[in-house]
Amino acid sequence: MRRALFSFSCCAFAAALIAPQQRRTRARLHAESRFWSYDGVDVHYAIERAPGANAVVVFGPGFGAGAFQFEDVCRHVAEGGVDAIAMDWVGQGKSWPEGDMAGRNFGVETWISQLTAFVEQLDYSQVYVAGNSIGGLVAASVAARSDKVAGCALLNPTPFWSFWGVNGCPLWSGDLPGPAPFEAFGGAWFDALRDEKTVQSLLRQVYAAPARADDRLARDICTSAAHPNGPRVFASILFAGRAKDEFDDVMRRLGEKDLKTYLVYGREDPWVRPIWGQRAARRFAEGGRVAPYYELSPAGHCVHHEAPAAVASCVLNLVRDVEVPLSVQEDHGPRIAIEERGPAAPRGVLERVAAGAWG
């Protein structure tokens, strides 16, 4: 588990909203960048609009990443007639708390509450959620709990989070301020991660096409991580608890709700391998339904960034029943194959062993 959380942290470092407290700016990476006031924090999100759209997809990023990593997939979704929003988690991207942080906790339940509050204020006839890595776990949890959500797309979602139980570490739950040694430990680990060369090197280990993890992506991640509250936020995350509901239980609940749920995985992801997607599909089926399951190749952990047009085609099928092609030519070069695996039956020795062990 420790290795998994370290890996996810490295990878990341690697519409119409009705709310009175907003201010608008123009962003370099998205059509429009906005800020929404939530829990005393100006939460950043970016929106790509489609003329006359009555549906929206809200994307949540992996840990430490942000809206900047969803530029291309949001553009493709909007070109397909659906508004697309990418938001930063509180304590990530451009959504940093300022001043006194006493009482704040940056565990995954904080982000689940954030996304729930956000989607419940949106003025669309249909609201969908999607996310990559920890963003996928958050999106699934929100979809399982909220009646506002019409469906979800899970993009290589991490099936686990945190070293600890629901209440966090027995010695510190993650509520700030924490014991000085714990905060110092988290801060030292955080500082060791936020170097552009380190980030890029680690990212390239989980991209099928390493060149896609370029200087700009590493710079954007490190710029986000440069906030002075970063070390304390990271320390809180390390010692905070897991989500109230295990990912397996969330997938069963989505199946029981018969909520439209798509599983989209980069086949070459060395962290959240397709065997995890197949397990998620089996848990969903235990709720009485079948979740469409897609494997994209070549694509790694950040499938939305490596294969944005291919991911968008799956998302548009979820929202508008647009046919998913067998392959997609990405603007940045590679042709991505899209294989629908049906109920995600195992194939090969490793997948069969995993299915037998996990059920």
pLDDT at 244: 96
Q: What is the pLDDT of residues 122-152, one digit of tens each?
A: 999 999 999 999 999 999 999 999 999 999 9
| Helix, strand, coil share (%) of the chain residues, nearest 5 | 40, 20, 40
pLDDT top residue among 345 and 157: 157
What are the boundaries of each domain within the chain?
2-358
What are the angstrom distances between the C-alpha of 261 and each of 150, 294, 318, 340, 347?
A: 9, 11, 8, 14, 22
pLDDT at 10: 42
Give 344's pLDDT tier (boundaries 50, 70, 90). Answer: low
For 22, the token pair is 């907003």
pLDDT at 7 over 70: no
pLDDT at 297 over 50: yes
For residue 305, give the 3-state DSSP assignment.
Answer: helix
Residue 266: its H or E element? strand 260-266
pLDDT at 255: 96
Q: Which of 254, 54, 263 is nearest to 153 (CA)?
A: 263
Give 343's pLDDT tier (boundaries 50, 70, 90). Answer: low
Domain made up of 2-358: CATH architecture = 3-Layer(aba) Sandwich (3.40)
For residue 330, give the 3-state DSSP assignment.
Answer: coil
pLDDT at 263: 97
